[in-house]
Structure formats: C-alpha cells, structure tokens
Amino acid sequence: MSLLITDECINCDVCEPECPNDAIYQGEEIYVIKPERCTQCVGHYDSPQCQQVCPVDCIILDESHPETEAELQAKYEHLIASDN
C-alpha cells in the first residue's frame, strides 16, 4: 500500500528528503505522498523512512491503494528502470 500523510502534519519538512522515490512533496496545506511513486521504501530500506522520522506519527497506510509486498517490489523495479 502507498502511505498517506494525514492532516495532523505539521509541515516540519523531515519526511520529504528521506523518501528514496521522490514520492513526497509539499501540497497546498500539508505534505502529500504520490501513490504511484510510494513503495513503502521496499527495495531501499526495511521500513518506510518517512514514518521513522515523522515526529507526529501522521503517516499511515493508504487503504485506498492496496498493494502486496510483491506489487511494491515490482513498482520499485519499474521506478528504478524508468528513472535511469
């Protein structure tokens, strides 16, 4: 599943640089995660780095974008191939 930043976000700026897939960007009011680029850090790390650094724990699973571990791995491989 992609991750989602809730409206509890305080715009602290720590999550964006941690994302290895460039999936996080500043939205109109809070940071936003692009589901098409979010792999929960599969292929890069053992756990989502944005969740690790978030001081208010406002990054949750996005239930509207369900994906298996295999699908996240495939998305990672596609992103790596298309970014090169």
pLDDT single digits (tens) 41-81: 999 999 999 999 999 999 999 999 999 999 999 999 999 99
pLDDT value of position 1? 87
| pTM of the predicted model as reported, rounded to 2 decimal places | 0.92
Instruction: Count CB-CB contacts under 10 A for residue 46.
Output: 8
Q: How many residues are there in the chain? A: 84
Q: Could you tell me what percent of the chain has a pLDDT over 70?
A: 99
Task: Say whether 67 sits in a helix, a strand or coil.
Answer: coil
Q: Is the pLDDT of residue 84 over 70?
A: no
The DSSP symbol for 61 reads E
Tokens at residue 79, please? Answer: 């992103």
The string of pLDDT tens digits covering residues 10-37 is 999 999 999 999 999 999 999 999 999 9
